[in-house]
Amino acid sequence: MKIYLASGNKNKKKEMIQLLPEHEIVIPSDEGIDFDPDETGVTFYENSLIKAKALYDIVHCPVIADDSGICVDALNGAPGIYSSRYAGPDFMKGKPDGTKISQEDQNIFIIKQTNDAINSGKLPEGAYLNGPRSCHYTCAMVLYLGTDRLYVAQETFEGTLIEKIEDQAGDGGFGYDPIVFLPEFNKTIAQLTSDEKNAISHRGKAVKQIQNIIKNL
């Protein structure tokens, strides 16, 4: 089946090809489609649905969209849906002019902001799954086949944020992966092989649910 992926992120396309090898995965830029919908939702699911519907209205073919991001417990779940636009504590939802900072700067900012929150002694109340540096990725994925034919899967991927940018490790994955440590593997996400990551990641688990749905269509 030809499935359009509602994203301009080539790293996401690469992961989806690995996760859905039996299908043809196409992103809008592959076919010269100008695609940049306004993500006005306040949840991962809402933004995923916005992207899925916007692309379906153009191609009228099956679409998969996902919205994902990193949520840090010490920052009350931030940057969350703003992960790709996050530009430090002064621009939690991104810069007003829409410009983005480098991933390296994002990693530096989020570690420093988390350290500052922990050292302030004013952490949000509650239990932390992996201690005060707990964080997780969330992925909300939508398979969109038309107005009344949509399917949703949402999954998380738990870890802890490293303490110093100097401790980042690995050249796999993308985004915040080099600074998210997995205690059970004694590695960062970026140090996992593609197969290891896809077996346990937020996106990998969501795709498995979508795969089962596709098989039963």
pLDDT at 123: 83
What pLDDT was estimated at residue 163? 97
Residue with tokens 């994902």: 68
Looking at residue 147, what is its pLDDT? 84
> Whole-model pTM?
0.92
pLDDT the model gives residue 175: 94
Pair of tokens at residue 92: 């939690």
pLDDT of residue 16: 93
Q: Phi/psi at 121 (nearest 5 deg)?
A: 75, 15
Token pair listed for 141: 């994925």
Which pLDDT score is estimated for 89? 93
What is the distance of C-alpha 168 from the center of its chain? 19
Q: What is the DSSP string of 137-150?
A: EEEEEEEESSTT-E
CATH topology of domain 2-215: Maf protein (3.90.950)
pLDDT at 86: 97
Token pair of 175 as six digits: 């985004």
Beta 187-188 vs 180-182: how paired, if at all? antiparallel
Measured CA to CA, the distance from residue 158 to residue 211 in angstroms comes to 22
The pLDDT value recorded for residue 46 is 98
In one letter, which amino acid is 38? D
Domain boundaries, the chain: 2-215
Per-residue pLDDT of 138-149, as tens digits, reads 999 999 999 889
Would you state the pLDDT for residue 129? 83
Flag residues of the chain having pLDDT under 70. Answer: 127
Q: Which residues are catalytic?
A: 67
